[in-house]
């Protein structure tokens, strides 16, 4: 990918992913690196049918189109590359971040950034929501935080976007050339629960095991007994309940 981003800002959109998807569908030669960003997002989409709503100038909500092959196995690691970039951005602001498979970015166990990658004709869309200026996160259905809560500072989202894109560029270039192995080191350096017992929920199914590592495309490897490692492509990771010890 040539390192040029073409940023299109909107005042208000329902979802930057949806707007970019529609643009990509009706523009067969849409350049790779096209970015749709919005100051306010009224019905953003998250993983597992969650909504990602963002008030005016509150958060960074944007989507990036990349013209790449659309092998579905490569899609998850595109989000992982974006998660690594978000962690870089936070660290440059003095905030220590960790990564939770498949692509959550956490600060002290609280979510600060969510990513939704989707295949579209001619490439992929990587949608990113970074909590920036929120003072409170009590309206969110899971423990969450923001740059403002962590640093005490107020940020101009319009200035933050190119900073984020600059962090993204080396990881996306590595991902485009080498897939997950291009970002494996950066991912594994920050990932939580490696080698630990975990529980994975996918729809109604729950599985317990140990997070043994990640496969060639970033799929999670769940060790369920000494000789069995199951590749997992989707789901939500939780910690298993602590076992009770009886004396
Ligand atoms: C998640 O569930 O963690 C993923 C959330 C992704 C939200 C972002 S906000 C910008 C982009 N547009 C969307 O509609 N969703 C993504």
What CATH number is associated with residue 216? 2.30.30.100
- Model confidence band, residue 3 (pLDDT cutoffs 50, 70, 90): low
Query: Is residue 215 located within the same domain as residue 181?
Result: no
Query: Is residue 92 located within the same domain as residue 204?
Result: no
Mutational pocket test of ligand 1: of 40, 43, 46, 65, the residue with most ligand atoms within 8 Å of the beta carbon = 46
The answer to whether position 21 is within a domain reads yes
In this structure, which residue's CA is closest to atom 16 in ligand 1? 127
Query: Is residue 171 located within the same domain as residue 201?
Result: no
DSSP per-residue codes, 60-83: EEEEEEE-----GGGHHHHHHHHH
Specify the 3-state DSSP secondary structure of 125.
strand
* Closest approach atom of ligand 1 to CA 46: 2
State residue 142's pLDDT score: 80
User: What would the pLDDT profile of 24-57 be if each residue is shown by its tens digit?
Assistant: 999 999 999 999 999 999 999 998 888 999 999 9
**How many distinct structural domains can be found in the chain?**
2
Dihedral pair phi/psi, residue 140, rounded to 5°: -95, 140
Rounded CA gap, 218 and 97, in Å?
19
| Helices (runs of H) and strands (runs of E) counted in the chain | 5, 14
Q: 94 exposed, middle or buried (CB, 10 Å; 0-12, 13-18, 19+)?
A: exposed
The answer to whether position 246 is within a domain reads no
* Closest approach atom of ligand 1 to CA 18: 14
Query: Is residue 170 located within the same domain as residue 232?
Result: no
Q: Is the pLDDT of residue 74 over 90?
A: no
Residue with tokens 């809560």: 149
Q: Calculate Rg over the CA atoms of the chain.
A: 18
User: Dihedral of CA 217/73/90/142: which sign?
Assistant: negative
Query: Is residue 163 located within the same domain as residue 146?
Result: yes
Mean pLDDT of the chain: 92
Tokens (6 digits) for 156 = 């101009």
Query: Is residue 224 located within the same domain as residue 183?
Result: no
Specify the 3-state DSSP secondary structure of 50.
coil
* Closest approach atom of ligand 1 to CA 114: 3
User: What would the pLDDT profile of 93-106 be if each residue is shown by its tens digit?
Assistant: 999 999 999 989 99
Specify the 3-state DSSP secondary structure of 145.
coil
In this structure, which residue's CA is closest to atom 11 in ligand 1? 127
Dihedral pair phi/psi, residue 61, rounded to 5°: -130, 115
CA of residue 97 to ligand 1 center, whole Å: 19
Residues 196 and 211 sit within 8 Å (Cβ to Cβ): yes
Query: Is residue 67 located within the same domain as residue 164?
Result: yes
Q: 214 exposed, middle or buried (CB, 10 Å; 0-12, 13-18, 19+)?
A: buried
Query: Is residue 90 located within the same domain as residue 107?
Result: yes
Query: Is residue 91 located within the same domain as residue 212?
Result: no
In this structure, which residue's CA is closest to atom 9 in ligand 1? 129
Q: Can you give the pTM of this predicted structure?
A: 0.93
Q: Which residue ranges have their beta carbon within 6 Å of ligand 1?
A: 15-17, 44-47, 50, 52, 61-63, 114-116, 127-129
Query: Is residue 153 located within the same domain as residue 63?
Result: yes
Name the least confident of 46-55, 86-95, 192-201.
46-55
The answer to whether position 243 is within a domain reads no
Mutational pocket test of ligand 1: of 37, 62, 101, 114, the residue with most ligand atoms within 8 Å of the beta carbon = 114
Pairing state of beta strands 220-225 and 228-232?
antiparallel
Domain span including residue 48? 6-188
């Amino acid at each position: 990918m040539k390192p040029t981003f073409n940023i299109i800002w909107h005042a208000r959109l329902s979802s930057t992913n949806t707007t970019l998807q529609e643009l990509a569908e009706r523009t067969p030669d849409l350049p790779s690196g096209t970015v749709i960003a919005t100051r306010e997002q009224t019905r953003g989409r998250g993983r597992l049918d969650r909504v990602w709503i963002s008030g005016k100038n509150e958060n960074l909500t944007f989507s990036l189109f990349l013209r790449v092959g659309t092998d579905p196995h490569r899609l998850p690691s595109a989000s992982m590359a974006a998660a690594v970039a978000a962690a870089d951005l936070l660290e440059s602001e003095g905030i220590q971040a960790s990564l939770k498979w498949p692509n959550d970015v956490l600060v002290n166990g609280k979510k600060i950034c969510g990513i939704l990658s989707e295949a579209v004709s001619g490439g992929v869309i990587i949608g990113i929501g970074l909590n920036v200026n929120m003072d409170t996160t009590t309206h969110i259905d899971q423990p969450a935080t923001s740059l403002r809560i962590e640093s005490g500072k107020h940020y101009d989202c319009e200035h933050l976007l190119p900073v984020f894109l600059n962090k993204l560029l080396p990881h996306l270039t590595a991902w485009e050339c080498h897939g997950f192995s291009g970002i494996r080191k950066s991912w594994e350096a920050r990932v939580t629960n490696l080698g630990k017992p975990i529980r994975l929920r996918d729809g109604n199914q729950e599985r317990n095991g140990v997070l043994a590592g990640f496969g060639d495309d970033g799929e999670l490897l769940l060790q369920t007994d000494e000789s069995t490692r199951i590749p997992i492509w989707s789901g939500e990771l939780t910690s298993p309940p602590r076992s009770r010890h009886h004396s």
